[in-house]
Amino acid sequence: MTTSTTRRAILRAAVVAAGAMLPLAAFAQTEGEPLKIAMILPGPITDNDWNSVGYNGLQSAGEALNANVAYAENVTDADAERLLRDFAARGYDLVFAHSFSFGDAALNASESFPDTIFMAGTASELSDNLGTYSNPDYQGAYLAGMLAAGASDTDSVGWVGGMPAPNMLANLHAYTAGAKEVNAEVNVLHTFIGSWFDPPKAKEATIAQIEQGADVVSAQGVGVIDGAAEKGVLAIGAMTDQNFLGEETVLTSVTWDLGPLITAVGQAVMDDTWTSENWSYGVASDSVGLAPFHGLDTNVDPAVMEAVEAKIAAIKDGSFEVPLDTSPVD
């Protein structure tokens, strides 16, 4: 039973004991009102990347649960706590802080609003009413590494990301491990540009890697595909099917469907079964996967394509577990 439910039960018992009657509408959504879910996002919901995934997942959950949803985009770290508090004060039952950097803000807000459930992306500290959720795209990154090595003619592949957060480090290590499984001698270049959203800098870093020999690049931020397209090499997109950004460039994309996770969390809140923990939906639950190849799979060694399909099956049946490595890199 959640803290909110316990308090409602105590209040109801006190009212009954006093011989009074309290209208059902005075209680929270579990008494019949629609669930209210809100989300704050660090960037634009139209980025076809991290923020689009959050927004699309929120909308999907809203439809599945018949919930009322709201969001705020382009939220800075400095404004995160204020907006989380605002949604809680407005009666939202479940509030998502959709950024690696919003954890402290969510923790502070959770302490002031104990009857609101908060969920922060990859939070380092939890509370009774603050849980976290991870993006296990490192599982898909392993597959991307296999594909990159299988498509490379130079035995050198690249990876360009934003900040060295645990999730990004896990992605990089898994990408490297997947590439090494296919070609033990492959050279894997990596760059953290120091920002979650800086397309020009991401493009510049991509071109620098290509000039060092990389002919397939993993795009972990906006701008990478632009650099790959300009130089005529392949890229592997992230979060959504990004082939439209370069029809002859984007081999495939590692996709993330956040809808099932938000729906499950929302249902748990409605059922009073929610618990503060790390919620993670990956390849096995079809939340992380590969986008269509749009005919570009001919660039990959057929044996590698077969190996990737076999690896997906192995992840799903539990016979293979992608290593989770978040150790720092130089």
| Strand ordering across the sheet containing 36-40 | 68-72, 36-40, 94-97, 117-121, 130-134, 278-280
Is it the case that residue 22 has pLDDT exceeding 50? no
State the pLDDT at residue 10.
32
State the pLDDT at residue 66.
98
Strands 250-256 and 288-290: antiparallel
Is it the case that residue 17 has pLDDT exceeding 60? no
Q: How buried is 1 (Cβ within 10 angstroms: 0-12 exposed, 13-18 middle, 19+ buried)?
A: exposed
State the pLDDT at residue 31.
59
- Phi/psi of residue 247, nearest 5 degrees: -60, -30
* Predicted structure pTM score: 0.82
Write the single-letter amino acid at 129.
N
Is it the case that residue 219 has pLDDT exceeding 80? yes
Per-residue pLDDT reduced to its tens digit, 148-171: 999 999 999 999 999 998 889 999
Of the candidates 167, 95, 113, the residue with the CA atom closest to the CA atom of residue 137: 167
